[in-house]
Chains A and B, each alone.
Chain A
């Protein structure tokens, strides 16, 4: 499903003209199979967000290859990359990244609008997804009227509504209390087992990483294989 090979990336620091290049990713190689939950654990500054940004196509790596479903994504144009994301990825962000001016329903509907679906088609899909994540009651609420857990459920519904094969989650419970964190993690596991979705979770939290089938630890730009938790 996802094949990352010899991925390298550096960042420039210092004044213009006197920059130093700091390596953030050093020859990362990773394979994620379909239906797997893979967690990338790492401390702040370990390079895990850079890895996710490259995987999502938000930035291009300096060298190496990223293949998703056999498609090389590291050299796509901005427009092609956006189209690829729309078809293949769903995103779950730490701070939910919901549109404050849209209701929960409209937030979930947004990717379908971008995709160009008719309002009738959208209504069916969004209602189904809202039901799956248990948000039917608050569909007409704005994000500011929802709890953190509900907002993250909206974010998950938005990520799933286009039926992408891969979900990329960046600290999905980072803004939640422990009780809500458990709810969200259970939801991720349920979605994985019932829908067979592939998850790549970036986190610093061991407890979050524990839902994964496989864990990797990113330290100073190097990926180290963690323990295999359980079979897919």
Chain B
């Protein structure tokens, strides 16, 4: 029998038992949709957390807090060794200033966060600017995206305290000179001021709720600040930058082998991925139980179909149909139920997923209130194509397995007994 005729044959039979076949397809569809939607929550949460990790930091950054076996500081020679590790783009040493820092332009002032760093290395590490250029002189600095907003007049500050709108510095900061007044946290040294010119402004942070009021100064200023304020030498944080995400793992391993503690996005994602893979596998397993329950319906439908069509099967065998053909026709019918059910389930799952991603954040935001939900950005459900493939294989596979026994039963029908059946 040609394949087209086999399909026609099945279609005719399914048409004759429309109600029963439809309800079985519905059961298969519900099982598969449940599997997809359930697992999509795992995929959605994984994406949310991964995005959160990747958005908050540079993915190629490997933090090196200290050595594993000693409390000694990492020396410049060791930093240089790190620079020689293959695929390392830059190694940046950053330190803060143990003083309260206030920036002033005319009547405007605001607290800022000074960071001493090797700006050439920062440039190599990919410090991205929204405007201006990297400093060329020691008196030039790069400021954070929200630096201008932090500079308020006294009136604006009062308005800000009353939670009214705040304006900050308007216009371009490039070329603007400001006073940086440092008041040491400890000791009796008097506050001191230095003048700096803004050469560049950093890009806006990835998250809406993050505020960047930093000032990147050349690390040669550390000595001048220490001399005037007696703040002492601040501990440095060391960040190694890879030339791309694929190199992060290898560089992390090399640093670990050299005896450093490392913390990188791959470390964080590695343990997170393991957790979410287990979670997703668990959800798929639970979803598969629903598919298995649906398969009982398919088994019943196919068993009834075989029982009802015993005489027809007998006639077909009598006029020359091979047992294999009879088996194939029934297997194809159960597979068709699985395929149609899965097809509808995939469409339905995408619709449910879209609805959940639209509705659930609205509900959460309304229950959290305006303030708490600021920057709330969450994927509740995500259906990647891999999930569709896995769910389809499970659903169609289970449908075919549940049709296997009735199909075998059909091949074993005795022609003589079947032909004796009444119409």
Contact = CB atoms under 8 A, between A and B. Distances in A.
A86 B320 contact: yes
Interface in A91-119: 91, 93, 95, 97, 99-102, 110-111, 113-116, 118
Contacts, number: 60
A99 B309 CA distance: 10
B20 interface: no
Contacts of A79: 322-324
B423 A101 contact: no
Q: Chain B: interface secondary structure?
A: helix
Nearest to A56: B318
A118 B319 contact: no
A82 B13 CA distance: 23
Interface in A67-87: 78-79, 82-83, 85-87
A12 to B, nearest CB: 15
A53 B311 CA distance: 16
Given A79-B322, A101-B12, A53 B315 contact: no
A123 B27 CA distance: 39
Given A59-B416, A97-B419, A82 B315 contact: no
Nearest to A161: B319
Given A114-B1, A116-B1, A116-B2, A99 B323 contact: no
Chain B interface extent, by class: 20 to 34
Contacts of A95: 423
Interface string B306-319: 00000110111111
Contacts of B16: 101
B312 A115 contact: no
Nearest to A96: B423
A30 B139 CA distance: 120
Contact of A91 (B1, B318, B321): B318
Given A53-B416, A93-B419, A97-B419, A82 B323 contact: yes
A56 B419 CA distance: 13
Contact of A99 (B312, B320, B322, B419): B312
A53 B423 CA distance: 20
A214 interface: no
A102 B315 CA distance: 13
Nearest to A143: B423
A102 B15 CA distance: 12
Among A53, A95, A114, A158, the one with the most B-chain Cβ atoms within 10 Å of its Cβ is A114
Given A99-B315, A101-B16, A115 B320 contact: yes
Interface string B324-338: 110000000000000
Interface string A151-195: 000000010001000000000000000000000000000000000
B5 interface: yes
A60 B9 CA distance: 30
Contacts of A87: 320
B415 interface: yes
A78 to B, nearest CB: 6
A118 B320 contact: no
A82 B320 contact: yes
Among B9, B13, B319, the one with the most A-chain Cβ atoms within 10 Å of its Cβ is B319
A162 B320 CA distance: 11
Among B16, B320, B322, the one with the most A-chain Cβ atoms within 10 Å of its Cβ is B320
Contacts of B316: 110, 114
Contact of B416 (A58, A100, A162): A58
Given A58-B416, A93-B419, A95-B423, A114 B318 contact: no
B308 to A, nearest CB: 11
Contacts of B419: 93, 97
Interface in B314-372: 314-325
Contact of B318 (A85, A101, A113, A115): A85
B322 A82 contact: yes
B319 to A, nearest CB: 5
A91 B319 contact: yes
A101 B319 contact: no
A158 B12 CA distance: 19
A86 B319 contact: yes
Contacts of B312: 99
A59 B319 CA distance: 14
Contacts of B314: 97
Interface in B199-255: none
Contacts of A111: 319-320
A77 B9 CA distance: 26
Among B12, B16, B311, B419, the one with the most A-chain Cβ atoms within 10 Å of its Cβ is B419
A91 B315 CA distance: 10
Contacts of B317: 82
Contacts of B323: 78-79, 82
Contacts of B318: 56, 58, 85, 91, 97
A82 B416 CA distance: 14
Interface in B1-55: 1-2, 5, 9, 12-13, 16
Give the 3 A-B CB pairs with smallest separation, nearest first.
A86-B320, A58-B415, A85-B320
Interface of B: 1-2, 5, 9, 12-13, 16, 311-312, 314-325, 415-416, 419, 423
8 contacts: A82-B322, A82-B323, A85-B320, A86-B321, A93-B419, A113-B9, A116-B1, A162-B320
